[in-house]
Structure 1
Amino acid sequence: MEQFIIGNIVITYDGREITFSDNGHQNFRFYLKPDALADLMDYFNSLIKTYTQKRNAFRIPLNNSFGLSVLLRYGDKSCSVKPLNLSLTGILIEFEGDDVYGMAKGDIVELSIELGDKSENMAGKIVRCNHPQYGIFFPETIVDGEVQAPEFLLNITSNLEKRWLRERISE
Structure 2
Amino acid sequence: MEEIRKTFKAPWDWLLILMTSGITLLLLGLNYYTPDVITTLITWAIILGALGFGIFGYHIEGGKLKILRLGWSKDIDISNITDVEYRPHAMTGSVRTFGIGGLFGYVGYFRNSILKSYKAYVTHRNKTVVLTTKDGDIVISPDDPETFVASLKSILKDN
Alignment TM-score, normalising by the size of structure 1: 0.27
